[in-house]
Chain A
């Protein structure tokens, strides 16, 4: 009985100690992130490089990639079509494994007759009029957008950033950006620019890896199922696009379309619900 008050105090102290330690441990990741404001104020020359970007950093990176794409492909001024693509896009996006990136998903139509679609980090998804035209119905358009949403959800764009970007901080002092802006901001700017270039090159030219494309196909099919679209639309649009000889976006540059169809053959079976007449009607009314 005499020991009870001491035991209570001991327990409370132990608890406080554990919780205090937990608080310290929880703060460590924040403390090693690049600290541009502090670095500027203190004149620190070295920044802690982190391979892991936060959601907000990914968002600003994605804006840069989208701005580069939109410099080559004009944005469609067809508000009705843009709204429709957003409606289909948001429908599939909310069924993805990452429904809420930092500022949400944004879908837009590009004025180009070449079938193409692009997923930029952070949730910017661009699709050409040519791609919409290549789709036979809303479900196929949903398949294209679901595939791109999956790339965003998997953060595939960030994987495109050269590993060297995270180790070159010390060597960027002599670059044009670093000379122009100086100090920590110049170093960050150089890394920002290099990262945008890396992602842009992958999205537009090289395409994602075989594994990333196949995973995006599988995830896209699952999204279609959850959203209520026909999962077989993924196979159908891949077939349609391969016969048109397009490249980039959902088509990628590799792997071979036939391999990708085999990859999703089992999970992308035709469902029995058939095509909702309302979906067919609204797609036909807006198809370019």
Chain B
């Protein structure tokens, strides 16, 4: 009789334990689909720029976010797992991986403009500032942003200099 009572309490205890685990580790065993907008993002083997590049994710595709480590997210793209830095995603802030459990919609952002809607300083505000101050050298800022350093070249630079990857 006593053992039957104990057995009866088992499902409830399992449920409580399960809920507690989910609450404590919201990303445990769950994944969230996220649409990429930035194109040609390098996939790294680990959550740092010195890690080996294991692939590339093109733009306008969906990746499965598996877990987070600081500003890095481990994703699964067509069966290939790797890490992307936070900046690879269109939203300029950390993804909230716990939203899936809270029943809210998966956040997908299609353009920078949408991502920045609701922010104080936006491209629109910058455009107004530039119109008011045409003497400012925004062209040079745009040029600087075009300076691209392929990860492979940076790794070679680090290696040749005897530095830490």
Contacts and interface: CB of A to CB of B under 8 A. Distances in A.
A128 B85 CA distance: 30
Interface stretch (A27-35, A243-251, A259-267): A27-35
A195 B120 CA distance: 12
B60 interface: no
Given A70-B141, A104-B87, A226 B164 contact: yes
A188 B125 contact: yes
Given A36-B122, A188-B121, A189-B128, A11 B16 contact: yes
Contacts of A279: 161-162
Contact of A82 (B132, B147, B160, B161): B147
A278 interface: yes
Interface string B9-32: 101100110010001000000000
Nearest to B104: A23
A63 B23 CA distance: 40
Interface in A9-57: 11-12, 15, 18-20, 22-23, 26, 30, 33-38, 47, 50, 53-57
B129 A196 contact: yes
A185 B147 contact: no
A94 B128 contact: no
Contacts of B161: 91, 138, 228, 276, 278-279, 282
Chain B facing A: main interface SS? helix
Contacts of B145: 103, 106
A19 B101 contact: yes
Given A15-B19, A60-B121, A94 B50 contact: yes
Contacts of B129: 64, 189, 192-193, 196
A220 to B, nearest CB: 15
A268 interface: no
Interface residues of A, number: 79
A262 B50 CA distance: 33
A100 interface: yes
A33 B118 contact: yes
Contact of A55 (B9, B92, B136, B163): B92
A70 B87 contact: no
A87 B157 contact: yes
A140 B165 CA distance: 19
Nearest to A2: B8
B85 to A, nearest CB: 4
Nearest to A104: B87
A115 to B, nearest CB: 20
B104 to A, nearest CB: 6
Contact of B141 (A66, A98, A100, A282): A66
Interface string B130-164: 10110111101101110101000110011011111
A33 B119 contact: yes
A56 B142 CA distance: 16
A47 B120 CA distance: 9
Given A19-B103, A59-B92, A276-B162, A8 B119 contact: no
Contacts of A59: 92
A67 B135 CA distance: 9
Interface of A: 1, 4, 7-8, 11-12, 15, 18-20, 22-23, 26, 30, 33-38, 47, 50, 53-57, 59-61, 63-64, 66-68, 70-71, 74-75, 82-83, 86-87, 90-91, 94-95, 98-104, 106-108, 124, 138, 177, 180-181, 185, 188-189, 191-193, 195-196, 226-229, 273, 276, 278-279, 282
Given A71-B135, A90-B149, 13 more contacts: A53-B120, A53-B121, A54-B119, A66-B140, A71-B137, A99-B49, A100-B71, A100-B87, A102-B92, A107-B147, A124-B144, A177-B128, A192-B120
Which are the 5 A-B pairs with shortest beta-carbon distances?
Answer: A228-B163, A56-B92, A276-B162, A34-B120, A228-B164
